[in-house]
Amino acid sequence: MLQRSFLLTLFSLFWSCCTLLDGGVSDPQTHLLTFGCTPFDQFVISDLSIFNENLNATFRDLRGQIRDQSKHFGTVQEGSGGSPVYTLFQCRNYLSVADCVACFDVAAVQIRSCPAGAPGGHVVYDGCFRRYDASPFFDRPTDTFNAALCGNKTTEEATAFTSAVQKLLMNLQKETSTIPGFLAAMKTHVPNTGPTIHTFVQCTETITQSGCLNCLNVGYKNMQTCLPTSDGRAFDQGCFLRYSTTSFFPDNYQIIDVTPMDKQGSINKGAIIGGAVAGSVILALIVLAFFLWAKPPKNPKRVPGGGDTTGASKLKGPVNYSYKDLKLSTKNFNADNKLGQGGFGTVYEGTLKNGKVVAVKKLTLRHSTKVEDEFESEVKLISNVHHRNLVRLLGYCSKDNTRILVYEYMKNTSLDKFLFGKMKGFLGWEQRYDIILGTARGLAYLHEKFHICIIHRDIKSNNILLDDDFQPKIADFGLAKLLSEDKSHLSTKFAGTLGYTASEYALNGQLSEKADAYSYGVVILEIISGRKSEELNINGEAEGEFLLQKAWKLYERGRHLELVDNTLDPNDCDIEEVKKIIEIGLLCTQASPTIRPTISEVVVLLQNKGLF
């Protein structure tokens, strides 16, 4: 109780701080500033396969540094096989770790749209910068892609505003190169009740002090083209500058008021460092408080679902239905009562003696003593998984070689009927968005919130059921274990559906939560396109394309909106929201499982509509 009270206090601090950050929290700032790929004629890659493996290794290493070590800057080089790769990533230091990782993931999707074999690529967002190349570049301060991006709103009192910005940037570029970490964030008021100017300057940590100064000089000159608009960014290989009349970093990131700048002549470096450190400490406490609050308590009695869940044998048992009652409820498993059929068995509609309508799944299982011994304990475990986006298991029946599961009944049946069947076109955009988000929440619970990790293995549109309000509920979770002799997370018999299954699982039997993430990404694309993943689309061409191939090709051409189901009303869709969710789906379907996000990270991206 004391710990809970302490966490409540911390959470209150977190919530109070959030209200003061003016949008600085939970915003990865993924507004794209520039993107480019290195021309093929600048460097010849000796072995493309090894180069791609090295590239994946650098991406994986950097993401681990950010997520696990809470870094905002990192470099990695991988040179095995004679095809070296050099990769650099930098977040703005005012971003939280979660937002930094989110920006990293968005950049991963963007930079991978460079053509296969491209020896390099770079992408710059408001929140982060990412680059890879086949040749060293870490100490390079400037490059050909340096430029400025300006706002489209001109400020009032343009002369005074321009003068104030120029003075602020001039002082910042001189001082930033002498500050450890090469960064500074400040704000000042334009004289005579003008707006507040927020400014942030940052150099990469691998260049020299003189290199930082040179880069900022170039950025300062490029920024002149933006004045007197209300905001502008200048970016280069080694540095980033931004000013705006709208706050884009947390107020507590720095506490310096540089209004008396003319009198001071220069900025107090100690105050800058102190403000940045104080802001970082406070932000770290906020993030810590949030994760402590969000983390389920270790006391097994508090695990969702109730009961002592230290082991399956101690879980509260499901109802043990008689075979006779279930046979009667389904009219002897009559074909007229059949709701559907899948890899795990056939589902029938049943009406119990008390009038309750249920879904009765007659399982198709291998027959062995091991299955018979495991069945009831596995069912007991599954019946204690309670979440609003998971289908509730009510009970079971075990008679001779027959195994039956009884679930809550979903009147609207499965999602595939509304995407590809007679009900195609019924779901609007908001309903589809809710289904995408709800499915992610259910999967995140299975992977991280229950007391053991449950990997579904067969996420697909007909395993997502819809309740009366068209909210999604995932079905068939936990059943794949009953089909496999080997329960190892490293190697197991395949128990999925081709077209939805990640290659590392389908081909090599390598199973992890990232296999579910891949399948979920395919489902996102189905929901948006109204097209089956395994359906080969010819479109008058000699060779057709499967959904995932089509989606990646459209994305690479910047035409991903062509993927959208033509039954959707364009007036009901937020175009930017649709584009970002397509990108999230593609992020989940990357070939390397280590680069795919976790489902909990996907939930954060989906919930934060500030990204759209």
The dihedral over CA atoms of 469, 474, 475, 479, expressed in degrees to the nearest 10, equals -170
User: Among residues 94, 33, 22, 18, which one has the least CA distance to residue 231?
Assistant: 33
pLDDT over 70 at 612, yes or no: no
pLDDT over 80 at 266, yes or no: no
**Domain-embedded: residue 10:** no
Q: How confident is the model at residue 230 (pLDDT cuts 50, 70, 90)?
A: very high
Q: How confident is the model at residue 133 (pLDDT cuts 50, 70, 90)?
A: very high
pLDDT at site 368 = 57
Q: 333-348 pLDDT, tens per residue?
A: 999 999 887 667 899 9
Residues 157 and 123 in one domain: no
Residues 419 and 559 in one domain: yes
User: Of 339-353, 398-412, 473-487, 541-555, which gets the smallest average pLDDT?
Assistant: 473-487
Which of 408, 437, 467 finishes a domain? 408
**Domain-embedded: residue 493:** yes
pLDDT over 80 at 373, yes or no: no
Looking at residue 536, its amino acid is: L
**Domain-embedded: residue 543:** yes
pLDDT over 50 at 293, yes or no: no
Residues 566 and 545 in one domain: yes
Q: What is the mean pLDDT of residues 144-152?
A: 91
Check which CATH number belongs to the domain holding 484 and give it.
1.10.510.10
Q: What is the mean pLDDT of residues 467-473?
A: 92
**Domain-embedded: residue 385:** yes
pLDDT over 90 at 124, yes or no: yes
- Taking the whole predicted model, whether its pTM rises above 0.75 is answered as no
List phi, psi (to 5°) of 167: -65, -45
Residues 390 and 463 in one domain: no
pLDDT at site 582 = 94
| Beta pairing, strands 393-399 & 319-320 | parallel
pLDDT over 90 at 376, yes or no: no
d(CA 376, CA 396): 8
**Number of helices and strands (H, E) in the chain?**
16, 18
pLDDT over 70 at 292, yes or no: no
Residues 540 and 573 in one domain: yes
pLDDT at site 279 = 46
Catalytic option among 458, 469, 569, 572: 458
Question: Per the structure, how many domains does the chain have?
Answer: 4
Q: How confident is the model at residue 67 (pLDDT cuts 50, 70, 90)?
A: confident
**Domain-embedded: residue 438:** yes
**Domain-embedded: residue 5:** no
**Active site (annotated) includes residue 516:** no
Check which CATH number belongs to the domain holding 50 and give it.
3.30.430.20
Which of 375, 392, 408 finishes a domain? 408
Structure token pair of residue 391: 């289908």
Residues 492 and 389 in one domain: no
pLDDT over 80 at 263, yes or no: no
Which of 391, 408, 425 finishes a domain? 408
Residues 82 and 117 in one domain: yes
Residues 602 and 475 in one domain: yes
Quote the mean pLDDT of the chain.
79
Residues 535 and 606 in one domain: yes
**Domain-embedded: residue 15:** no
Residues 233 and 255 in one domain: yes
**Domain-embedded: residue 558:** yes
pLDDT at site 461 = 93
Check which CATH number belongs to the domain holding 397 and give it.
3.30.200.20
Estimate to the nearest angstrom the gap between the alpha carbon of 111 and the chain centroid: 16
Residues spanned by the domain of 73: 26-133
Residues 396 and 428 in one domain: no
* CB hemisphere CA count around 470 (13 angstroms): 17
Q: What is the mean pLDDT of residues 223-249?
A: 94
Residues 368 and 466 in one domain: no
Q: 47-66 pLDDT, tens per residue?
A: 888 888 889 899 999 999 99
